Amino acid sequence: MNKIKVVISNRQKEVKIPTGIRMLVRRCCNAVLQLEEFEDSAEVSVTFVDNEQIHEMNKQYRDRDSATDVLSFPMGENGEYDINHESGAKILGDIVISVPKAVEQAQNYGHSFSREVAYLTAHSMLHLLGYDHEQGGLERVRMREKEELVMQELGLPASASYTNG
pLDDT tens per residue across span 132-155: 877 778 888 999 999 999 999 999
Q: Binning pLDDT at 50, 70 and 90, where does residue 161 land? A: very low
Mean pLDDT over 53-64 rounds to: 97
pLDDT tens per residue across span 12-51: 999 999 999 999 999 999 999 999 999 999 999 999 999 9
pLDDT at residue 143, rounded to an integer: 93
Residue whose C-alpha is closest to residue 12's, from 45, 47, 64: 47
One of 3.40.390.30, 3.30.2090.10, 3.40.50.720, 3.30.70.1450 is the CATH number of 4-153, namely 3.40.390.30
Rounded CA separation 110/112 (Å): 7
Residue whose C-alpha is closest to residue 129's, from 165, 152, 106, 95: 95
Taking phi first (over 0 means left), then psi (-120 to 50 degrees means alpha), and beta for anything else, what does residue 137 get?
left
**More confidently predicted of 138 and 124:** 124
pLDDT cut 90: percent of the chain above it: 82
Domain ranges of the chain: 4-153
Residue 160, SS3 per DSSP: coil
pTM surpassing 0.85? yes
Q: Which residues contact 70 (CB under 8 A, 6 or more apart)?
A: 95, 96, 97, 98, 120, 121, 123, 124
pLDDT tens per residue across span 81-95: 999 999 999 999 999
